[in-house]
Amino acid sequence: MRRPTRPAVRALSLLAVTAAVVTVGAAAPPGTDSPSATAATAAAATATGPAGASTTPPKVPVAVGHGGAVASVDADASAAGIEVLRNGGNAVDAAVATAAALGVTEPYSAGIGGGGYFVHYDARSRKVRTIDGRETAPRSADKTLFLENGKPIPTDEAMTSGRSVGTPGTPATWEAALDAWGSKPLRTLLKPAERLARDGFTVDATFRSQTQGNEARFRDFPASSQLFLPGGQLPVVGAKFKNPDLAKTYEKLGRHGVDALYRGDLARDIVRTVNKPPVDPKATRKVRGGDLTERDLRRYEIERPAPTKVDYRGLGVYGMGPSSSGGTSVGEALNILERTNLSKASQKQFLHRYIEASRIAFADRGRWLGDPAFESVPTRELLSQRFADSRECLIKDDAVLVSPLPPADPRHPSRDCKSSGTAAPTTYEGENTTHLTAADKWGNVVAYTLTIESTGGSGITVPGRGFLLNNELTDFSFAPANPAVHDPNLPGPGKRPRSSISPTIVLDRHDKPVLALGSPGGATIITTVLQSLIGHVDRGLPLVDSIAAPRASQRNAATTELEPGLWNSPVRGELEALGHVFKQNPEIGAATGVQRLPDGRWLAAAEKVRRGGGSAMVVRP
């Protein structure tokens, strides 16, 4: 579907919700963890001053109540979404407001210089629909985009370059979602984020740490250094961080619509910055320019692919279809696990089966997933139970599959339990993204993952505009892993790079929402969502505990990554005895979710520790 060229103006037709304190510390129902802060403390923190006050609410990982819910990694962003719900907005309105605020407080993970995938459940029709707002390559791009003298350029050089920047899709995603399902004008929804950028937010340890990790890159680009290293220094924890340029950019988008980013002076600034990155003359870094044009921006289009769907334990699990590999990979793995009673399995058996299902799904992902506008992607066949059964039979209880595992052809499932084709390793994928989930009092639900790819994206800020540009095109394969085998993820003109983003909505037999879930983390997104889902559905963990559980991530590699909680557990030795090989990863993903409770209340859940903990909020306890 072509991106509209003018913003729609919609009537404010929804009744306003009675003003209420944003409650982030409501008492949890039986079976859930209680928040770390008391309800009284949380209410006091969020009730200070009128709506729009700059007091940052405390972060708590779970909240339960009525009127709607929002969960994200950031308290200011979640509060922006709750403010919209409190003022009569729906889940889509809240998701856009939260996403815009994350562009202020999580600028190294997301923003209008990037893209993402939006999954929406409509309570009236009981249908799930999706928006693919993935960044696209310039029309001039071909399979040699990241090759020089026939060889791939170094990944770190590709990341920090104009060559890695795809046409942003986030603003067009907001417009498309609001035109289809929203109730408030974009200008209204950008106000909380505009205020946050202008007045500032409180720097936490995560923001400082991520700035420090990008310090060398930022110093090489004057606009990035001026914005993120005020006075030439790292931001101080507890200080206010302001971004007046972004506030002005949001005000511009609110006044003129998101088309202002795709044409006109802002579009020219983006193109100029991509093609001739403004590098400090003293910098020694090799920074390549890109080849983005104003025509590339004008012609950007969101896509509306059908959601993926599998039936698992009597539930309908809906995800994101290609160009993302998230829905197909999570779905295939769930189909593989369908034949195993994971609720009665030991921890060793549970993890073994989960790891092997992930390994198989990634083997097939690498062969078949790419942009469906350019590649023949057998989505329906990948999600068939028949194909999953032909792959599940590879799993043995007393042995480990060898990686990289060859893929199979889902169009012709093997009858003798064999893989076919040539194995290929999983390509690099940046791990810093952000996810939000939102629900409203009418029962509408949004799972939305947005990104600028690596932490800090390309490292290049558009001068005077206050936002970083993505490095999303590094999600393409730089070169085929095996020249004799077709790689569906090579660059092409206007092509979307393959993604692992996996926003997921689960419905019951009556097509009513059960939960929504998603995570950042590059290729680990798939395993994080999968593990969190089966932890909740099969193991009976409360959603917040399933999100908090220590993670394992197997992506068709020789080693499986483990977080410390599993690395230091006796189960690691039990799995190694089967033949598993592990390496430690200090942190995998940062999930958020919402859940509809049997009594009609919403539960919002976020991380307890990862990325400094997430922020779960409801409108009313």
Query: Quick check: bond before 322 cis, omega within 30?
Result: no
**Residue 402 burial (C-beta neighbours within 10 Å; 0-12, 13-18, 19+):** exposed
* 421 confidence band (pLDDT: 50, 70, 90): confident
User: Is residue 25's pLDDT more than 50?
Assistant: no
Q: What pLDDT does residue 87 have?
A: 97
Structure tokens at 358: 């992930």
> What pairing do the DSSP bridges indicate for beta strands 240-241 and 308-312?
unpaired
Q: What pLDDT does residue 4 have?
A: 38
Q: What pLDDT does residue 354 have?
A: 98
Q: What pLDDT does residue 377 have?
A: 98
User: Is residue 29's pLDDT more than 60?
Assistant: no
> Mean pLDDT over all residues of the chain?
91
Q: Is the dihedral of CA 64, 70, 75, 76 positive or negative?
A: negative
Place of tokens 């992902």: 365
Structure tokens at 3: 């991106």
Q: Which residues are catalytic?
A: 433
What's the pTM? 0.91
User: Is residue 546's pLDDT more than 60?
Assistant: yes
Mean pLDDT, range 433-456, rounded to an integer: 97
Collect contacts of 52-59 with beta carbons under 8 A, ≥24 apart: 52/83, 52/192, 52/195, 54/195, 54/196, 54/199, 54/200, 54/201, 56/201, 56/202, 57/22, 57/24, 57/615, 57/617, 58/24, 58/25, 59/24, 59/606, 59/612, 59/613, 59/614, 59/615
* 237 confidence band (pLDDT: 50, 70, 90): very high
Q: What pLDDT does residue 484 have?
A: 80
Q: What pLDDT does residue 54 have?
A: 52
Q: Which of 552, 584, 530, 555 is nearest to 427 (CA)?
A: 555
Q: What pLDDT does residue 430 have?
A: 63
Residues whose CB is less than 8 angstroms from the CB of residue 348 and which lie 6 or more positions away in sequence, other chains included: 571, 574, 575, 578
* 428 confidence band (pLDDT: 50, 70, 90): low
Q: What pLDDT does residue 281 have?
A: 96
Structure tokens at 450: 């947005």
Give CA separation, 181 vs 11, 184, 258, 385, in Å: 12, 10, 17, 33
Residues whose CB is less than 8 angstroms from the CB of residue 374 and which lie 6 or more positions away in sequence, other chains included: 488, 492, 495
* 431 confidence band (pLDDT: 50, 70, 90): low
Mean pLDDT, range 18-32, rounded to an integer: 31
Mean pLDDT, range 155-177, rounded to an integer: 98
Mean pLDDT, range 345-374, rounded to an integer: 97
pLDDT tens-digit profile of 309-349?
999 999 999 999 999 999 999 999 999 999 999 999 999 99
Instruction: Output DSSP code: residue 455.
Output: T
Residues whose CB is less than 8 angstroms from the CB of residue 9 and which lie 6 or more positions away in sequence, other chains included: 185
User: Is residue 9's pLDDT more than 70?
Assistant: no
Please list the residues that pair with 603 across neighbouring strands.
64, 595
Structure tokens at 58: 């405390």
What is the Cα–Cα distance from 271 to 249, expressed in whole angstroms?
16
Q: How far is CA 542 from the centre of its chain?
A: 22
